[in-house]
Amino acid sequence: MLLGMDRARRAFAPARFFENTNYNFRLKKPPAFGEVDALTPNIMAKPFNPSFATLEEMIATVENSYSNSLCFILVEENTRKNCMPHVVAMERLLAVSSSLQNAKIIEIPKGEKYKNLETFSGIIEQLSVNNAGRNSLLINLGGGVICDIGGFVAACYKRGIDFINVPTSLLAMVDAAHGGKTGVDFNNFKNQIGVFAPAEMVVVDVNFLKTLPDDQILSGFAEMIKMALIASDDFWSAIKQADLNKVRSLEPLIIESIQQKLQIVEEDPAEKSIRKILNFGHTFGHAFETFALENSRELLHGYAVAMGMLCELWLSEKMLNFDAAKRQEISEFILSRYPKFQIQTNDFERLFAILLQDKKNSTNKIKPVLLKKIGDAQYDLTCSKELCFGALQAYSTL
Ligand SMILES: NC(=O)c1ccc[n+]([C@@H]2O[C@H](COP(=O)([O-])OP(=O)(O)OC[C@H]3O[C@@H](n4cnc5c(N)ncnc54)[C@H](O)[C@@H]3O)[C@@H](O)[C@H]2O)c1
Ligand SMILES: [Zn+2]
């Protein structure tokens, strides 16, 4: 199946988001990159769009729809310190929302290694001892870890309570907070336990990115590169111009990434077909991540995806005749920004074993998403052990 140019053009045509915006800035004309007007306050001026909103709109929604509910805010130490003050300041500015002012804070330790069942139980316990009921609201204030585990808790607690994602990392803003995938890791395997459960609302506010460390910006940017490569040449060209030192300048690209994801998810929410293309770079990326975890090596999710894309582009060239010069261009772009995750030839067997354990793959065959060209992603292709080794070999000599 393809994400062809028609789809890409549709995405670049006047988008619902820009015309009917609930977001707090407007473009002079629809999605032309880099033409952002000054921020325009838009407090409660437009109807609430459940999948995409401003912090102001979230506060208004809590005030209006959850005034009789107990509210909980899930944070970890970084987002409590860096992101809570922004929420509190906005609340003061609006001078509303008693439910939020009385919200109970639930703090978990930061980091992927706490995205597990133990932390899940701890959060459930906190909800329980604080008498959370079916009408309670959980606000997930944090990166992908908080959104994933918080969404999973909300989906399970008393068979489901409402939750709102407030992504604070770039990665969560463009990817993890949207699309309804929730869950935790299990026995070193990523996202082994989880459910699909859509948030009531996802807040997008780039102000949170001001305190995000550079390596985390880069990690989130990898998902934007992925999105551009599966979407269109136009988006890829815009990504190449991105200035990561000016987070505000990233706004149009962030929004375009979200739009692209939402469009795909809307078509295939349960990942039976086209949604699989969002996994470009992730088959090998997840294998690198698991391998890193097993060997106590540091590897951020986005960095792993960037490395995964290098492998999957090589496979794309071999299996689908992806243009060699384009692959070179993309590989150079990635390698000039991301440190290479070093592997040796004698790691290949273990990496292949991990690839086979991935829930997307089957006996002795793996199923990476590959590109025929930029904007033309294909899924459900199978790839032999020999080709996987070829990709790892080509990667290690890049
Ligand atoms: N559900 C999905 O569809 C989906 C998609 C992509 C990724 N994910 C998951 O997302 C997770 C990775 O997300 P992540 O990279 O956001 O990880 P994360 O949540 O661990 O956040 C990264 C780091 O940034 C810090 N941080 C977050 N916001 C900050 C801010 N505003 N200021 C300062 N520090 C801040 C965090 O404390 C953490 O140290 C992985 O578990 C991955 O599996 C899920
Ligand atoms: Zn990802």
pTM metric for this prediction = 0.87
Q: Which ligand is nearest to the CA of 146?
A: 1
Reduced to 3 states (helix: H, G, I; strand: E, B; else coil), residue 299 is coil
Q: pLDDT below 70 — which residues of the chain? A: 1-51, 96-98, 359-363
- The residue whose CB lies within 8 Å of the most ligand 1 atoms, and thus the one to mutate among 170, 171, 184, 193, is 171
Q: What is the pLDDT of residue 360?
A: 65
- The residue whose CB lies within 8 Å of the most ligand 1 atoms, and thus the one to mutate among 86, 119, 145, is 145
Number of H helices, E strands in the chain: 17, 9
Q: What is the pLDDT of residue 332?
A: 98
Q: What is the pLDDT of residue 98?
A: 66
354 Cα–ligand 1 center, Å:
23
The residue whose C-alpha atom lies closest to atom 7 belonging to ligand 1 is: 176
Q: What is the pLDDT of residue 96?
A: 66
Residue 144 pairs in a beta bridge with none
Domain definitions of the chain by residue range: 43-212, 215-396
Query: What number of other Cβ atoms are within 10 A of residue 133's Cβ?
Result: 11
175 Cα–ligand 2 center, Å:
7
CATH superfamily for domain 215-396: Dehydroquinate synthase-like - alpha domain (1.20.1090.10)
Alpha-carbon distance of 104 to 126, in angstroms, equals: 10
222 Cα–ligand 2 center, Å:
8
CATH topology identical between 43-212 and 215-396: no
Assign domain 43-212 to its CATH architecture.
Answer: 3-Layer(aba) Sandwich (3.40)
Residue 152: partners with Cβ closer than 8 Å, 6 or more residues away = 120, 182, 183, 184, 193, 194, 195, 197
245 Cα–ligand 2 center, Å:
22
Kindly report, residue by residue over 266-310, the tens digit of the pLDDT. Answer: 899 889 999 999 999 999 999 999 899 899 999 999 999 999 999
- The residue whose CB lies within 8 Å of the most ligand 1 atoms, and thus the one to mutate among 76, 78, 195, 224, is 78
- Please give all residues whose beta carbon lies within 6 A of any atom in ligand 1, as ranges: 76, 78-79, 82-83, 110-112, 115, 142-146, 148, 168-169, 171-172, 175-176, 179, 181, 190-191, 208, 211-212, 216, 219, 301
What b/e readout covers 172-195, taking b as 16+ CB neighbours within 10 angstroms? bbbbbbbbbbbbbbeeebbbeebe
The residue whose C-alpha atom lies closest to atom 35 belonging to ligand 1 is: 212
R_g of the chain computed on alpha carbons: 21
Query: What number of other Cβ atoms are within 10 A of residue 116's Cβ?
Result: 17
Q: Which ligand is nearest to the CA of 175?
A: 1
Kindly report, residue by residue over 32-78, the tens digit of the pLDDT. Answer: 333 333 333 332 332 223 457 999 999 988 988 998 999 999 999 99
Closest ligand 1 atom, residue 110 Cα: 37
